[in-house]
Structure 1
Amino acid sequence: MLRVALTGPESTGKTTLSRLLAEQYTTTWAPEYARYYLEQHGPNYTMADLERIAKGQLRAEQNAMQAAQVQGRPLFFCDTDLLVIKIWSEHAFGVCPQWIIEQIELQRYDLVLLLDVDLPWEPDPLREHPNHRQYFYDLYQRELRERLSNFAEISGAPAERLEQACFHVDILLGKTSFWRTARISQG
């Protein structure tokens, strides 16, 4: 089962792209649990709330994976990941619970799509940092590089984002000759 996560700062289209990718590949996706949680409990959160959100995100991913398996699909998508919780926690509280850091190491994704901040900010009562999106983007990019994650940066208008994401997912699925061609030309 291949796992593809979408990550990045607020208001970069993660939810929309996750849903579109799941439709494109007729599979499942795990919605961002933080949104559900904060809609139920309000936008003010504590470290304990972030830990509950992290556990809820893991359950959502497990449910999406099981549903994809039942459907006989080779992959599923995750609208956000624990890296979002880590960066969010470190920014808000200066620290991230160790179990979340350990879980990030255990829970590798086959592909991570890092969404750029080149879409306009869309106000939302649950969003906090309209003027810090590039700062957060740089943090995500650094973390993914340091972890040697298989990731691709996705930018542009929504249609371009879907096209770019599908290109990378197709490579993951072996549906393109891109890698074969590159290997042949190298020697």
Structure 2
Amino acid sequence: MLKKIAIVGPESTGKSTLTQQLARHYQTLWVAEYARYYCEHLTRDCTLQDEINMFHGQIALEDSIVAIAEKDFIFCDITVLTVKIFCDDVFGGTPQMVLDAVKSKKYDLYLLMDIDLPWQNDPLRGSAGRRGHFMEVWKKELEGLNANYRIISGIEDRLINAIETVDTFLQSH
């Protein structure tokens, strides 16, 4: 069975960088964050329909990587849970199809990125002063799913801490 390890958390916590570093370290595939590609080309504010489009895009991208994976595990830079968290915050609720997918799309391990990295400005980010809030939201959502998750901290040793966590997980599974 292919194992999926999701890298999740608030904005500007090193998710994309860490996902790629882990994939290189373990010589396996990784699923990119579809929303980044999508939003880079938006010329207006993001709508609920855009979130639904990103939801479908993320699932399609993940499914395509799963289909060609040759190793026993892959890394996923975010999950559809990110869409739920964003929709709840911005639109006050989440479409049922997203809620259903959050429950049905399983990940074997979540690496929840801590907010201990300095904020990096990016035109696609907007919650610099709310990372603490979103860290608590992520914990609550993962606990609500009874998810297997570990918080990954560290500025200089973040990658080492993530590798140790993944190694421990892989050895026990």
User: What range describes the TM-score normalised by the shorter chain of this pair?
Assistant: over 0.9
Note if contact 2:108-2:148 (Cα within 8 Å) is conserved in structure 1.
yes
Shift of 1:43: 5.8
Residues 33-182 of structure 1: matches in 2 within 5 Å? Answer: 33-42=34-43, 44-68=45-69, 72-157=70-155, 159-174=156-171
Question: Unaligned regions of 5+ residues in structure 1, if any?
Answer: 180-187
Cα distance in 2, alignment partners of residues 97 and 73 from structure 1: 33
Matched residue count: 171
Cα distance in 2, alignment partners of residues 15 and 43 from structure 1: 24
The two structures have a TM-score, normalised by structure 2, of 0.95
The CA deviation string for residues 49-89 of structure 1, in whole angstroms up to 9 with x for no partner, is 00000111111111221232xxx211001101111110100
Question: Unaligned regions of 5+ residues in structure 2, if any?
Answer: none
Note if contact 1:43-1:126 (Cα within 8 Å) is conserved in structure 2.
no
Q: Which stretch shifts more, 2-11 or 42-51? A: 42-51
Cα distance in 2, alignment partners of residues 166 and 43 from structure 1: 39
- Rg comparison, structure with higher value: 1
Match of 1:8 in 2: 9
Cα distance in 2, alignment partners of residues 81 and 42 from structure 1: 24
Residues 96 and 110 (structure 1), Cα distance of their counterparts in 2 relative to 1, 3 Å cut: same
Residue type of the partner of 2:58? Q
RMSD: 1.1
Note if contact 1:43-1:125 (Cα within 8 Å) is conserved in structure 2.
no
The two structures have a TM-score, normalised by structure 1, of 0.88
User: Percent identity among equivalent residues?
Assistant: 39
The CA deviation string for residues 101-155 of structure 1, in whole angstroms up to 9 with x for no partner, is 1101111100000001110000000001110001001000111112110000001
Residue type of the partner of 1:45? C
Cα distance in 1, alignment partners of residues 129 and 58 from structure 2: 26
